[in-house]
Amino acid sequence: MKTKAASFRLFVLLALALAATAGAAAAAPETTEDGLVLVKKSKADAVYRRPGVAFSDYTKVTLLEPLIAFQKDWQEKHNRENWRNQISDADMATMIAKGKELLKEEFTAVLNKKGYPVVAGSGKDVLGIRVLVLNLDVAAPDPNNAVGSFTKVYTEGAGSATLVVELYDSVTWQVIARAFDHKMDQGTGHAGASERDHQTNVADASYAFHSWAQQLVKGLERAKQSEADGK
């Protein structure tokens, strides 16, 4: 039963993520099944929050284990189109593990720097944060740092992904907010295709996670300011 519930929950998140991408935020539902309400104006594609929650009550954060999910059949499609650079199941696990490591590093660094100490455990002043990277599409994967040893790979952009951030009260573990944001790297638009390898992929992932972490902090600050203004 737990597996089915988890699968259904991920399906709902994917459906909401798709509704919030490519300028479709206006089509997102006004409320969610778990009682969150759509925020009319936000910097992300779609943001939901629980009515009556005071974000000013939270001064620390705890990072929950993130989730990184590639697009369905991404591996099979890549291997059909790139016979010289096959991606194995072990490679998939390596990329996901590295992605989680980079995500934790960037979110921890930004949150600590911006005045939200990252702590272990729960408490009334501790906000639980879970980050999910869904629909991930990596344009030129190189998990074994081997591309440059055989040939050079050029692409117009790094790829795309949808970020979902869930915020929890760390005592009750009730979800109090959820945000969706889709990002697609289409390159510079004027310099043509760029060479890609393991190092550029790591740099791009770190930059994306850093930017998303900053966006999260700004969202928290806007919520607190709105509370202070009585809005």
155: pLDDT strictly greater than 70:
no
C-beta separation of 154 from 193 below 8 A: yes
Q: Which of 224, 216, 13 is nearest to 129 (CA)?
A: 216
Query: Per the structure block, which two tokens stand in for 173?
Result: 């573990």
Q: What dihedral angle (degrees, nearest 10) is formed by the CA atoms of 93, 96, 97, 102?
A: 160
User: What does the DSSP assignment read for 72-89?
Assistant: TTHHHHHHHH-TTS---H
Residue 135 sits at φ, ψ, to 5 deg, of 55, 35
Q: Which helix (H) or strand (E) is 183 found in, with range? A: strand 175-185
Over residues 141-149, mean pLDDT: 58
Of the CA atoms within 13 Å of residue 88, those in its CB half-sphere come to: 4
Question: In Å, how far are 47, 58, 94, 185, 223 from 229, measured between CA atoms?
Answer: 20, 17, 46, 37, 10
pLDDT on residue 183: 77
pTM for this entry: 0.78
Question: In Å, how far are 6, 16, 139, 163 from 29, measured between CA atoms?
Answer: 21, 8, 31, 18
Residue 126's beta-bridge partner residues? Answer: 60
Contacts of 146 (CB under 8 A, 6+ apart): 198
Residue located via tokens 């002043």: 125
Residues in the chain: 231
State the Cα–Cα distance between residues 227 and 231, nearest whole angstrom: 6
Structural domain tally of the chain?
1
Over residues 95-102, mean pLDDT: 93
Q: Which of 177, 225, 227 is nearest to 46 (CA)?
A: 177
Question: In Å, how far are 66, 85, 205 from 96, measured between CA atoms?
Answer: 10, 18, 11
Residue located via tokens 């009682």: 35
Find the domain containing 91 and state its range: 2-228
Per-chain mean pLDDT for the chain = 80
State the Cα–Cα distance between residues 119 and 191, nearest whole angstrom: 43
State the Cα–Cα distance between residues 61 and 167, nearest whole angstrom: 10
pLDDT on residue 149: 39
4: pLDDT strictly greater than 70:
no
Dump pLDDT digits (tens) for 34-93: 999 999 877 788 999 999 999 999 999 999 999 999 999 999 998 998 887 889 999 999
